[in-house]
Homo-oligomer: A and B are copies of this chain.
């Protein structure tokens, strides 16, 4: 019952098996290997089109690289005030971009809304003003909610109308996808997303992350940029093969469904015991305001979870993972 983060758990056995299988013979370094080639083809299938694939080591690296091709050093990227790029990367986006500015917006349930954002996009072409350059959204959001295709489309239309690019931070992309019951294509490039940080680590990889690029112009400099930040792994096969195994046989979707179901169970059980959800539970995270005694009972029963002031008075966060189990959650609550 460790719900501190989906990062506290290890990797799916399939990922380990794939690593072992890839550990044979010599292969070209730095991505010149069969696994990386196969991964590129696999992503093209999954997303139903050609896509630029840049395997990196962390989601922060994928995000930073994405923003660095969206925004010049004097550019502005609009994001939610709780966005990972804003609050959890120690200034990484500013570093990768050479100084671009993140302009934050509030937004219900962790989501940017196109109509609320529109008036904030100012100064284009005015030499004194930082220049509007991009929008970055997180799917699933930092509040455990998911953007509907129509919401993404509204943002991409706003972006297009202002000459901006749209980035999706998909650290929990699989969780959002199974929640929406839509296709990878529908919720990304068909809705106007230009760049996707495709995250596998939280959902069962050891370190499986890639920046996917749907706008070929944006891919031009990414090879150099990735190298320069130290994310071009010499034995890249061991990173590519994780993502291959992650996509193989829909492991990613199975893992995500399991995590989401456990989160849903958690949410239901917490509400039944007097907790109030701060946001709808739409992926694998639960944000809830808990009575003090409930916190104590859960802690006494060995539950691990973090206080979360942003979720309001008594706010706490629970993150279910690919190893969580809805039935086990319910059983644990029965034993409280």
Taking A102-B101, A224-B127 as contacts, is the C-beta distance between A8 and B23 under 8 angstroms? Answer: no
A181 within 8 A of B: no
Chain B contacts for A98, CB-based, 8 A: 73, 95, 98-99
Structural contact, B28 and A20, CB atoms closer than 8 A: no
Chain B contacts for A228, CB-based, 8 A: 73-74, 89-92, 95
Name the residue of chain B whose CB is nearest to the CB of A31: B127
A9 within 8 A of B: yes
Chain B contacts for A239, CB-based, 8 A: 207
| Complex CA–CA separation, A16 to B23 (angstroms) | 9
Structural contact, B23 and A7, CB atoms closer than 8 A: no
Chain B contacts for A88, CB-based, 8 A: 128-129
Taking A24-B10, A98-B98, A207-B233 as contacts, is the C-beta distance between A227 and B90 under 8 angstroms? Answer: yes
A-B contact pairs, 18 of them (CB 8 A): A4-B26, A4-B28, A5-B29, A5-B234, A11-B235, A57-B231, A57-B233, A58-B232, A74-B95, A74-B224, A74-B228, A89-B227, A90-B129, A90-B224, A91-B228, A92-B228, A202-B234, A207-B238
Give the 8 A-B residue pairs with the shortest CB-CB distance, closest first: A61-B230, A94-B99, A7-B29, A74-B91, A60-B230, A7-B234, A10-B23, A90-B227
Candidate in A30, A91, A96, A131 with the most chain B CB atoms within 10 angstroms = A91
A130 within 8 A of B: yes
- What is the CB-to-nearest-CB distance from A309 to chain B, in angstroms, rounded to a whole number? 9
Chain B contacts for A52, CB-based, 8 A: none
| Complex CA–CA separation, A239 to B56 (angstroms) | 15
| Complex CA–CA separation, A74 to B87 (angstroms) | 11
> Which of B61, B94, B96 touches A94 (beta carbons < 8 Å)?
B94
Q: How large is the interface on A (under 10, 10 to 19, 20 to 34, 35 or more residues)?
A: 35 or more
Q: For window 23-44 of chain A, which residues contact chain B by CB distance below 8 Å?
A: 23-30
Structural contact, B9 and A26, CB atoms closer than 8 A: yes
Structural contact, B24 and A20, CB atoms closer than 8 A: no
Q: For window 111-146 of chain A, which residues contact chain B by CB distance below 8 Å?
A: 123, 127-131
A256 within 8 A of B: no
Structural contact, B95 and A221, CB atoms closer than 8 A: no
Structural contact, B90 and A206, CB atoms closer than 8 A: no
A332 within 8 A of B: no
Q: For window 49-92 of chain A, which residues contact chain B by CB distance below 8 Å?
A: 56-64, 72-75, 87-92
- What is the CB-to-nearest-CB distance from A328 to chain B, in angstroms, rounded to a whole number? 14
Chain B contacts for A62, CB-based, 8 A: 230
A22 within 8 A of B: yes
Chain B contacts for A175, CB-based, 8 A: none
| Complex CA–CA separation, A79 to B304 (angstroms) | 37
Structural contact, A128 and B230, CB atoms closer than 8 A: no
A190 within 8 A of B: no
- What is the CB-to-nearest-CB distance from A127 to chain B, in angstroms, rounded to a whole number? 5
Structural contact, A90 and B19, CB atoms closer than 8 A: no
